Homo-oligomer: A and B are copies of this chain.
Amino acid sequence: MPDPFFQPVSGIDSPRFAGVPTFMRLPHVELDDSRIADVDVGLVGIPFDSGTTNRPGARHGPRQLRDQSTMIRMSHPVTRTNPFELVNCADLGDVNPNPVSIEDTFERITAFYRRLASQGIRPLSFGGDHSLSFPVLQGIVDKGNPVGMIHFDAHTDLFDGYFGDFKLTHGTPFRRAVEAGVLDPERVVQIGIRGTAYGFDDIEWAEEHGVRIIRIEEFMDRGIEDVMTEARRIVGSAETYISFDIDFIDPAFAPGTGTPEIGGPDTYTAQRCVRLLDGVNIIGADVVEVSPPLDPSGATAWVGVSIAFEILCVLARSLEARKSGA
């Protein structure tokens, strides 16, 4: 029985362009609000892009994603499930970042997500650049009890360092997360990798540590069902993080991102991939690297939000299944 407080505003009653924009027209609940105790899934913005090595702008992602998200309606068209009837969702606002310090921001992110984790809230995060996945994982995962990950991206983000060995960038989060003991490399699968390379250190490191990389050629040749079956097998039934870099999708469909690589999948393919996450034990998820200055039209943010809704549906079903099973 859904709580009316946590229901999105309907576009049949109030046009989609009206109102203060929150994620999917959900109520805005701050961390110190008493209603926080009732939240199952928290939608969180992380407006930070100082880990970017190339073109900035993803710091403006959460705002444009909120704006576009007001066009989302409540029900999934294929499965006909309504996630807002299954779990209580809320917009928890943004983590307050420090644009002039990566280290300080990472501490702020980790602290914010520890509070969420302590409340039993599963996060669906909206970036921001991909570096944020590292402090998010540190916030929601106990060190030494690493989680698995299904990672959609054009790049591995497994590099060691940039610009004279600086370690915290949007090209390095998952190497850091493995080193920090919050990500189990043998339960990590990366899908959609493509684009030219500076070298193959990331690939070699992945092979050494057991990370499974499914390049775009393999993905296209084998087909979605086969690839996603393998992905589900790799992560198994233990807790798994979903990280969705918008540059997984071809830049014709999602141009607003800092490091686009041509030759990627279309949105129909991306939607179907996410639907095939059904049954995965999702501990949290993020959609990152939407960069509004590189797509003022909002089209990329609309893609990001539409994918986030797909993720929310599988996350809500996963949570409800576990509740029902308890």
Chain A residues close to B by CB (< 8 Å) = 10-22, 28, 45, 47, 49-57, 59-60, 62-63, 66-67, 71-78, 80, 91, 93-94, 96-102, 104, 159, 162-164, 166, 168-169, 193-200, 215-217, 220, 250-253, 255, 259-264, 266-268, 271, 293-297, 299, 302-303, 306, 309
CB-based contact A267/B263 at 8 Å: yes
- Write out the residue numbers on chain B whose beta carbons fall within 8 Å of the beta carbon of A216: 268
- Write out the residue numbers on chain B whose beta carbons fall within 8 Å of the beta carbon of A74: 196-199
Q: How many copies does the complex hold?
A: 6
- Can you name 18 A-B residue pairings with CB atoms under 8 Å? A12-B162, A12-B163, A15-B47, A15-B54, A17-B60, A18-B94, A20-B28, A50-B100, A51-B100, A67-B67, A73-B197, A75-B197, A75-B200, A77-B193, A100-B102, A100-B163, A216-B268, A255-B297
- Write out the residue numbers on chain B whose beta carbons fall within 8 Å of the beta carbon of A255: 297, 299
CB-based contact A17/B54 at 8 Å: yes
- Write out the residue numbers on chain B whose beta carbons fall within 8 Å of the beta carbon of A63: 17, 21, 67
A197 to B96, CA, bound (A): 21
A interface: dominant SS: loop
A195 to B198, CA, bound (A): 39
- Quick one: given A216-B268, A271-B262, are A100 and B53 in contact (CB under 8 Å)? yes
CB-based contact B13/A55 at 8 Å: no
| 20 additional A-B residue pairs with CB within 8 Å, beyond A20-B93, A253-B262 | A12-B162, A13-B96, A15-B98, A18-B47, A18-B97, A19-B93, A20-B22, A20-B28, A21-B63, A50-B50, A54-B71, A56-B57, A63-B67, A67-B67, A74-B197, A99-B163, A100-B166, A250-B252, A262-B267, A264-B268
CB-based contact B53/A11 at 8 Å: yes
- Write out the residue numbers on chain B whose beta carbons fall within 8 Å of the beta carbon of A51: 100
A197 to B266, CA, bound (A): 22
- Residue of chain B at shortest CB distance from A30: B20
- Quick one: given A53-B99, A296-B296, are A47 and B164 in contact (CB under 8 Å)? no
CB-based contact B309/A196 at 8 Å: yes
- Quick one: given A15-B54, A98-B163, A100-B53, are A294 and B294 in contact (CB under 8 Å)? no
Minimum distance in angstroms from A76 CB to a CB of chain B: 7
A101 to B162, CA, bound (A): 11
CB-based contact B59/A268 at 8 Å: no
CB-based contact A252/B267 at 8 Å: yes
Minimum distance in angstroms from A314 CB to a CB of chain B: 14
- Write out the residue numbers on chain B whose beta carbons fall within 8 Å of the beta carbon of A97: 15, 18
- Write out the residue numbers on chain B whose beta carbons fall within 8 Å of the beta carbon of A50: 50, 100
- Write out the residue numbers on chain B whose beta carbons fall within 8 Å of the beta carbon of A17: 47, 54-55, 59-60, 63
CB-based contact B18/A21 at 8 Å: no
